[in-house]
Copies of this chain bind each other. A is one copy, B any other.
Amino acid sequence: MPRKQTTKTPPRRPDSDRAHSSTVEDYLERILELINTKGYARVVDIAESLQISQASVTNMVQKLDAEGLLNYERYRGMILTTAGQTLALNITRRHQLLTDFLGLLGLEDNVIYRDVEGMEHHISAPTVRAIEALTEQLKRQPALLERVRTAAQQ
């Protein structure tokens, strides 16, 4: 084995370059959803919904409070700050877009849910726009979609 001979491969973008972790995005998304459906987000509900212990939720909620994404009052409740709402709406939008998009391709709901829950954290603004535009166009091409669904079947 010869030594050295440096390779150049495209640089990675460490997770830390993103403003917030996937975990934080998932919490905010769920908190917004709870607030929208039942009017408030309780620790116990978030825990149940994310399948995580209450203790872990309390931890994270305190952290989100410290980061200014929500205002939390011990034992009482929480509300999203403007920053938190913005992020929550943003991730929700990406979630919805990907769900719609994969739905057009004829995938099963549980597959869609699983994949979207991961992918949603990794599509940047330009990609969101591109997929939005694509989805728009695809809706007008039922024949093409039918071919895709059939081909993807087996």
Residues in chain A within 8 A of chain B (CB atoms): 1, 4-7, 9-14, 26, 30, 33-34, 37-38, 40, 42, 44-45, 48-51, 76-77, 102, 105-108, 111, 113-115, 117-119, 121-124, 126-127, 129-134, 136-137, 141, 144, 147-149, 151-152
Contact = CB atoms under 8 A, between A and B. Distances in A.
Contact of A13 (B10, B76, B117): B117
A125 to B, nearest CB: 9
A117 to B, nearest CB: 7
A124 B8 CA distance: 30
Contacts of A6: 45, 48
Interface of A is mostly: helix
A127 B114 CA distance: 11
B148 A45 contact: no
Q: How many copies of this chain are found per oligomer?
A: 2
Given A102-B130, A118-B121, A51 B11 contact: yes
Nearest to A15: B118
Given A1-B76, A118-B119, A130-B148, 4 more contacts: A7-B49, A105-B134, A115-B122, A133-B149
A50 to B, nearest CB: 6
